Structure 1
């Protein structure tokens, strides 16, 4: 039985009450005293509350004597345990000798197959690293294997009177980490309702994508730059059975070969100079049960193409520098604005990898082939732009709309969005005229260029670009010429290596100039 005694606070009252209990020979299991309150836990099961109340009834310094479920310390412990058990990540309390003291419910759920408890045992029996090495390391988070499963671990020291008394080890599953990364990558809604368009080709594309979402096969999305390939890939993922799992996107043209390889496959501890001490998981681990979107797949090196092909055969891989074979449960969606069969003919893309990736195919039509959808897209982007710049939504004149519909839109939907955002941001009248559209288009004429699937078309576009560039005098022309030239050619040659080959200069010079003019 547990009781709460409220008293009038004065020196010695606790001792007097305990003396009364001692006279009655009542065994006490625990006692807590706080200001104005005395909490007592009696061991005897036969003792009744009325007996205690009668023993104290003659005292006028006692306000009340009530029965309680828990003592304050027990109540705090219960709340703390409830708090720990609501945390979805496994948590282990480990003392300074590596002995597991206590674990939460999430950690217990990992031990269902074990016929014994791990509390009281050494942590080294269940992880692939030395606990003492982790304790001596300056790294507070790293990847490790616990009961043959990979986790990202956070280690938090516990100090008692300026000395370490153990650590708290928190294990985060790769799937949960991947979900957090996916949330950071994009918080935009990516459902089929967000794919704007009533064109017959767009309706067919939506229906095909919806059917493909039910399958577990690789998908290859083709389409010119700016057509919304990633939006379509996200919509496909969100309509699939993997919707609650991570969707992780990686642009294959944005990273050099060695970094791209480590991003995909991860690396083991000490795999190379400068590597994190605890190693690093790759996207194949972080996207477990989810989807990986490989954008600009044509920019992947032949070496990585071979490695990706090997992965797609059985979805098994090893981290860089690692020996343990891992298995990934992911769906691969890839995309490219280039014509991959032509890249195969030029021996820039592996034919066998193409067949692996092109099991299901989606082709997004360019904006110039769906002029009627420009009305819907324009209304959507104008509303978005007005919201961002905190202005009233302007109206679009018939002449301005006609100008939008007659434009070829080499940069597709992305270019249309940029043009309308600029027009709204600079508009003060509340009406967007044709002159506003023409002025915005003129600012992008040297930058937004068509990406053709044909090499001859690309060369012709290349020549047109150079002819369109203009400059005034020698003093101001050189830097302006460099900036315009790089902005114009970079969409056609979207890697520093290709652009350097086109302009017949060093790779380092191109990289330096791109940084100088903030071109990416």
Structure 2
């Protein structure tokens, strides 16, 4: 059974509380101090029965400085441990905590799968066994700062490692180093993520960098014009971001969820412009046996950028 004592933070109060369990021959397996101001004590008494608690509770609450006693499901450290396990298990990237000897202290399920062992077999493993070409403890001591994107090979796979040093007692010198948290990002998966980002077509006004008052004024005017049901003329030299601005206007309009098509009319031969834009009916020409929708029809309800 786990108990929480709301109490004063005074010398000797833990001894006074525990003495009553001793009188009943009950072993206190673990204790923790919590609360914002150290005004809570948590005790784990494995063999305490409900009937014994009913008898002991008035006695415990009579201890000077104890304001209340109640049962709890978890000790604070147990709750943190479960929450951390749940968080790490939700990560698809391998994450490991290592000590300054290069031994793994804790890891998530993805790390266990990468190393080829069960998750309960990971603590105590030497990471040097898997990374013979990289001395991580020496690297951590040498840098004593976060390292991002270190390219390493582990079990025939290539990863980019982020290494965050851990210090004791909120210090930041080399002597206080206690280890590091290592997160491994698969190079292949990073490539996929970059590709997905590059495929993303949505670009709103927030994506436009307002580098000057003149540009800021232009964007304010574009925001004002975007909701209007009227053609917009955007003029500017090549490479100045006309398409980005047109896409932002599209997203801010009532048709923002409809398709947006950028069409280079200057690259269309005059003889093909009409058919490319508006399509053609069957038999319109010798090589047109079927109806073909043009760009205007295919993106009906959206916007076109000529």
TM-score by length of structure 1 reads 0.35
**In 1, are the aligned partners of 2:5 and 2:70 still within 8 Å (CA)?**
yes
In the alignment, the residues of structure 1 paired with residue 42 and residue 119 of structure 2 have an alpha-carbon distance, to the nearest angstrom, of 39
Does residue 91 (structure 1) correspond to residue 104 (structure 2)? The answer is no
Q: Does 1:26 align with 2:26?
A: yes
Q: From 19, 39, 60, give the equivalent of 2:42.
A: 39
Q: 1:66 aligns with which of 67, 70, 73?
A: 70
Matched position secondary structure for 1:25 = coil
- SS for the counterpart of 2:47 is coil
Q: Distance in 2 between matches of 1:173 and 1:18?
A: 51
TM superposition score normalised by structure 2: 0.56
Inter-partner Cα distance in structure 2 for 1:65 and 1:113: 43
C-alpha contact 1:95 1:101 (8 A) present in aligned 2: yes
| Paired residues of 1:126 and 1:146 also in contact (CA < 8 A) | yes
Sort the Cα spacing of 1:137 and 1:178 in 2 relative to 1 into closer, same or farther, 3 A: farther
Give the total of aligned pairs.
Answer: 215
- 2:82 is the counterpart of 1:78: yes
State the superposition RMSD in angstroms.
4.0
Go from structure 1 to structure 2 and tell me whether the alpha carbon gap of 1:10 and 1:170 turns closer, same or farther (over 3 Å shift): closer
Deviation at 1:105, TM superposition (A): 1.9
Q: Counterpart in 1 of 2:163? A: 155
2:78 is paired with a residue of what secondary structure? Answer: helix
Q: Provide the residue aligned with 1:127 in structure 2.
A: 131
How far residue 16 of structure 1 moved from its aligned partner, in angstroms, is 2.1
Over 3 Å counting, the alpha-carbon distance change for 1:96 and 1:62 in structure 2 is closer
**What's the offset of the Cα at 1:167?**
1.6
In the TM superposition, what whole-angstrom CA distance separates every residue of 1:285-334 from its partner, at most 9, and x where no partner exists?
Answer: xxxxxxxxxxxxxxxxxxxxxxxxxxxxxxxxxxxxxxxxxxxxxxxxxx
Could you give the per-residue CA deviations for residues 43-63 of structure 1, whole angstroms, max 9, x where no partner exists? 436574324325436557543
Is 2:155 aligned against 1:167? no
Q: Give yes or no for contact 1:85–1:104 (8 Å, CA) kept in 2.
A: yes
Contact (CA 8 Å) 1:88, 1:106: kept in 2 or not?
yes
User: CA 1:150 to 1:74, structure 2 compared with 1: closer, same or farther past 3 Å?
Assistant: same
Is the Cα contact below 8 Å between 1:128 and 1:146 reproduced in 2?
no
Counterpart of 2:225 (choices 383, 391, 395) is 391
Question: What is the CA distance between 1:126 and its match in structure 2?
Answer: 1.4
2:18–2:28 CA contact under 8 A, matched in 1: no
Q: Counterpart of 2:106?
A: 102
Structure 1 residues without counterparts, runs of 5 or longer: 190-384, 401-413, 425-443, 452-520
Q: Secondary structure at the match of 2:110?
A: helix
Can you list the C-alpha shifts for 1:103-141, whole angstroms capped at 9, x where unaligned?
112212334567992421211211352224644665542
Q: Helix, strand or coil for the counterpart of 1:168?
A: strand
Distance (Å, rounded) in 1 between the aligned partners of 2:118 and 2:6: 48
Structure 2, gaps ≥5 residues long: 203-218, 234-238, 250-263, 270-306
Deviation digits for residues 73-108 of structure 1, max 9, x if unmatched? 222222222222222211111111111111112212
Matched ranges for 1:479-518 at <5 A? none
Task: Quickly say closer, same or farther: Cα 1:81–1:16, change in 2 above 3 A.
Answer: same
Q: Which has the higher helix share?
A: 1
